[in-house]
Amino acid sequence: MGHFAKVIGPVIAATLMRYNPWLAIYLGLGFLFGTSILMTTFPETLASRVGFEADRDEQAGPPTSNIPKFSWKDTRQSLKEVMKIWSDYRLIFVALTYPFQMVCYALGDLVQRYVSDRYHWSLADATLLYSVQAIASAAMLFSLLPIVSAQIDRRFSLSVIQKNVVLLRVSLLVLVIAYAVIGLAPTAAILIIGLLIETLATGLPAAMRALASALVESADTGRVFAVLAVVETLSAMIAFPLSAALFNLGLAKGGGIWLGLPYDMISIGAAISCLIMCLLRFERRIRV
């Protein structure tokens, strides 16, 4: 459903923008308002007062008995457990790749402005590139990626960790090539090729989370994901201003090939990340 919206949404937005740039925004706000009203009618989201009173009456003991009490000793013990989990340098590296991932998202949002300024497309026409990329991403997730994963399982005896490491390394290498092509593309046609290459790394976020969960015990997965969620939020606060600053620097340099500076920089960052990922030692391959 999400990929369907990504395919249809840019087409509708591009059509509306030809008449009025604000129509797409008004339509989006209308859908958001209507969806919010519709959500309130779902039974799962309505708190039944009768059921709430019944559950409260069934609770034994005074109301304050169910309030958890925390002491400094418990807090210190929890911190020790978290530090023990994050003592694995491989897990730390996976967490450090989250800012890189958020910069990739920011560059995806920058494509429309980049194509419009560098290749002199209208914003409405540049929006259609999102549909092209969404179609390619859907094809990747539903066809090519499962086939590649099945071939890896069939030809190699790899553990869960090693399989995700392979996917991460390949995805990072793909991003190195894709962003270099996008940033240096002299024509829009070559840029579209770079966008299609970028979709080959669609499985990067899923592989990162799978690798993080495979490196820890199942009981510690929640703590790890909570920390990763915080890192992701902080990264988003940095990634979008950073990509905007690099793009504005390209504009100040006179435009042209300088507009691809954000993509060139992230291509270098992906190359460094790929090199580090190749140097890290994970589980050895299981021989059969």
Residue length, the chain?
Answer: 288
pLDDT in tens, the chain (288 residues): 444 455 455 556 556 666 666 676 777 777 777 776 776 665 554 444 445 455 555 554 455 445 455 556 656 666 666 666 666 777 777 777 777 777 888 888 888 889 989 998 887 788 888 778 778 877 777 777 778 777 777 887 777 777 778 888 888 899 999 999 999 999 999 999 998 898 888 778 878 888 888 777 777 777 777 777 777 777 878 888 888 888 999 989 888 889 999 999 999 988 988 888 888 776 544 433
Is residue 10 one of the residues assigned to a domain?
yes
Model's pTM, two decimal places? 0.69
Query: The CATH number of the domain where 208 resides is what?
Result: 1.20.1250.20
Is residue 287 one of the residues assigned to a domain?
no
Does residue 262 contact residue 110 with C-beta atoms inside 8 Å?
A: yes
Does residue 132 contact residue 192 with C-beta atoms inside 8 Å?
A: yes
One domain for residues 97 and 48: no
Which residue range is the domain that position 5 belongs to? 1-69
Is residue 76 one of the residues assigned to a domain?
no
One domain for residues 5 and 32: yes
Domain count, the chain: 2
